[in-house]
Chains A and B, each alone.
Chain A
Amino acid sequence: MSQFDFLKPKSRQIEFEQFDDRILTFVLERERSFLTCISCGGCTATCSAGNLTSFNIRKIGLSLRRGSINDLSDEIQKCMFCGKCTLVCPRDINIRNVVLLIKKRIAQLESEKTL
């Protein structure tokens, strides 16, 4: 059933108190093209890692924008960096850079022990 987890959606309530934009601002400062994402899911459809696990690059974008960085830190480790997502993106977003920046920022926050 893990393939069909969209059938049992989780709570859609967004807790604005828990909104943490430390990763989002870090990414946007360095990769402006992420602003143009339309969440089409093309990246997720072609993803090599997504083919092997429940990794979902579109959800990464969503978590990033919602500022729920706890969801990000485990999920982002699954990306294999192959670059297919960047190749199919209709908005020409440099997704590999977005992933690299998220990983870097998480490592920074972890070393500061503020994650």
Chain B
Amino acid sequence: MENIISIPFLVGMAYLFIVLIFRCIKWIAGLSKFDKIRLLKSITGRRLFQSIKETFMEALLHRKIFRKNPVLGYMHMSLAFGWFLLIVVGHLETMMAEHSMFVPFHKAVFFRYYESSGDFYLSGFFAFFMDLLLLFVLSGLMFAIVKRFRKKLFGLRRTTRLKSGDKIALTSLWLIFPLRLLAESTSAAVYHNGGFLTSGVGFVIDFIGNPAILYYPLWVAYSLSLGFFFAALPNSRYMHIPTEVVFIFMRNAGIRLKKQNDSYTDVQVFSCSRCGICLDKCQLSVAGIDDSQSVYLLKNIRNKNLSDEKLFNCQMCGRCQIDCPVGIETIELRTVQRIESTRDYNSSYDYLIQEIATKADVVYFAGCMTHLTPRVISSMKKIFATVGEGVWFMDEVKAPCCGRPLMLAGQYEAARKLIENNSRMILDSGAHTLVVSCPICYKVFKEDYKLPDVEVVFHAQYIDALIASGRLMVDAIGLRMVYHDPCELGRGMGMYEAPRRLLGRMGEVVHMKDEKEYAYCCGGSLGNIKITEDERKLLRNQALVAYESYSPDVLVTACPKCKKTFAAGRKMKVLDVVEVVAGAILAEKPQKVENPLAEQDVDALAFAPDMTCNL
């Protein structure tokens, strides 16, 4: 009869364990053969300790959230780590009281209910410490409740919407610890076995009513809240707690996302805690789009109701991925979903004819976007001519696209056709270097093309190397420049320093608050297929306003698409890196170039369909 109160808890716990074991088996069975071997190797080798350490640091201490936002970090840590300690210390306490190494699980959870006499070794210390831990968890819980209703206090502008499964789990989670406090307090009032907190609250309960009557219902309520939480957990967002551990182990084993859904995508999807940090980072909210962010993508994949409108409404800029505390690969995940969604309608591009390649040392591929910024091409030509490079301008007249826009749209098979065609052309030319002036092309050339013996370099790197080797000389033109990191180049390829180093040779690059991996997206991204032009303008203006506040002479970027987008904003002069270089080239005899930007004004502002600056 005494044990009856632990039944809800035990039922919930058993259900949870069965579901977890079933899911784990399903996930591991769904991995490819190589991934299974990788996983096996990692849990038998030294990487096991690394995984355990990471689980401790991230899943319990929440180190990454702490770094971003200490208050939010404290909230997560006190709930996760505090609860973990309550379980461990509670178990130790029970072992001490029972003088046994093996005590049943429910005995430890309901220790204060079973244990009536408070006399065993260190009992006073345990009572004090358990109360301290409970206080620790309750403080975190208080933050959580405040956050739900006043999220601004936590530096969060928005938080995620909940569905019914989440609401049950959330309510029971919120009830667990206050009920535990009340239940233990009544025990303390009856048996005098509490610490400073429970004794105090017990005294108050004793003062108000009769603890002996309240004793039983409160413990039952505590057990029920635990049972409800465990039972609701698999169908709520709190499934992220166990899944994150699996995710860390799989990631450390070297398992990566494929070009199709497998169980690793599932693990990533279930690892999302819906903390909402990605919502805050996403620029789409400026344009009033608030249903397609990464957290909703993951939620929709999980609930199997992902619509094309949401899937393709994302800039793919990667700002959310940088800040995800769980380390979910949001951009790759979205790409995989796009591949899955458009698998039925890939193109074959049978019409592509093999053009004859010209033999050259260096191949220059401008790319579609660069063709819309002719000043970039003429600047590149000027530099090639100055250094006397034997270059073949591959797509000057005719060439297919690089394939990256297709990949961003999920048309992976179609993109492979273009890649094959372009690869053959480049290899036929016998070149040792491929220079590209568009980050969109650069990413796909680096990642998806197989070009043995051909070095793919971005134009900023190439020119910087030319200057460093003395083949090209530039003058310091003393401009104050703000450098905009293009998404595909910065977060996409991790190249932040090369363009800055190059610009630093000619002028001053202003340091900003939101730069490098935290840089804004220009709004023009090819990754987004659903956004309207008016919404793009709002995104662009957000970035422009931020850059304007540093009052630079010129806004420099390294992407033709960013350049066109910003130039249409008509707020400041926008130049590509290579245009700045072309304007600062020293001829044979050094002479001061007078106002190198004067002739470039027209082009920088040439394309501006909107004549008004709507802010």
Contact = CB atoms under 8 A, between A and B. Distances in A.
Interface stretch (B276-284, B340-348, B485-493, B576-584): B340-348
Interface residues of A, number: 29
A84 B371 contact: yes
B308 A104 contact: yes
A46 to B, nearest CB: 7
B405 A80 contact: yes
Interface string A82-113: 11100110101010110010011011000100
Nearest to A96: B529
B532 A80 contact: no
Interface stretch (A3-11, A48-56, A58-66): A48-56
B529 A97 contact: yes
Contact of A94 (B349, B369, B399, B530): B530
Contacts of A96: 405, 409, 526, 529
B309 interface: yes
A81 B351 contact: no
Given A52-B400, A94-B533, A87 B345 contact: no
B609 A100 contact: no
A81 B533 contact: no
A90 B564 CA distance: 14
B423 to A, nearest CB: 16
B372 A87 contact: yes
A78 B345 CA distance: 12
Nearest to B397: A51
B352 A84 contact: no
Given A82-B401, A83-B405, A52 B351 contact: yes
A49 B533 CA distance: 23
Contacts of B308: 104
A19 to B, nearest CB: 23
Interface in B157-208: none
B418 interface: yes
Given A48-B400, A51-B398, A80-B405, A107 B352 contact: no
Interface of A is mostly: helix
Given A80-B405, A82-B405, A83-B526, A88 B372 contact: yes
Interface in B376-423: 397-401, 405-406, 409, 411, 414, 418
Contacts of B352: 52
Interface residues of B, number: 38
Contact of B347 (A51, A79, A97, A111): A79
A62 B467 CA distance: 51
A78 B368 contact: no
Given A52-B398, A107-B344, A107-B345, A94 B532 contact: yes
A77 interface: yes
Contact of A33 (B399, B526, B532, B561): B532
A104 B342 CA distance: 7
Interface string B409-451: 1010010001000000000000000000000000000000000
A78 B401 contact: no
B376 to A, nearest CB: 14
Contact of B409 (A51, A78, A81, A92): A81
Contacts of A94: 529-533
A30 interface: yes
B584 to A, nearest CB: 28
B409 A80 contact: no
A103 B405 CA distance: 16
Contacts of A49: 400-401
A93 B345 CA distance: 22
A48 B368 contact: yes
A92 B347 contact: no
A80 B348 CA distance: 10
Interface string A62-79: 000000000000000111
A100 B352 CA distance: 21
Nearest to A76: B347
A87 B400 contact: no
A78 B405 contact: no
B312 interface: yes
Given A81-B406, A84-B369, A48 B401 contact: yes
A53 B411 CA distance: 20
Contacts of B397: 51
B534 interface: yes
Interface string B13-39: 000000000000000000000000000
Contacts of A97: 312, 529-530
Given A51-B398, A90-B609, A81 B530 contact: no
A92 B609 contact: yes
Contacts of A52: 351-353, 398, 400
A77 B609 CA distance: 29
A82 B366 CA distance: 13
Contacts of A30: 309
Contacts of B309: 30
Contacts of B534: 92
Contact of B368 (A83, A92, A111): A83
Contacts of B369: 82-84, 87
Nearest to A55: B351
A100 B345 CA distance: 9
A80 B414 CA distance: 9
B372 A92 contact: no
Contacts of B353: 52
A106 B346 CA distance: 11
B532 A92 contact: yes
B609 A84 contact: no
B111 to A, nearest CB: 60
Nearest to A51: B398
Contacts of A104: 308, 342, 345
**B345, B400, B418, most chain A CB atoms within 10 A:** B345
Contacts of B418: 80
Contacts of B529: 94, 96-97, 100
Contacts of A111: 344
Nearest to A103: B345
A78 B564 contact: no
11 contacts: A33-B532, A49-B401, A83-B369, A84-B369, A90-B609, A92-B532, A94-B529, A96-B409, A97-B529, A100-B529, A104-B345
Given A87-B564, A92-B533, 16 more contacts: A46-B371, A49-B400, A78-B347, A78-B351, A81-B409, A82-B401, A83-B368, A83-B369, A83-B405, A87-B372, A96-B409, A96-B526, A96-B529, A100-B342, A100-B409, A103-B345
7 tightest Cβ-Cβ pairs between the two chains A and B: A92-B533, A82-B368, A107-B345, A82-B401, A80-B401, A77-B347, A107-B344
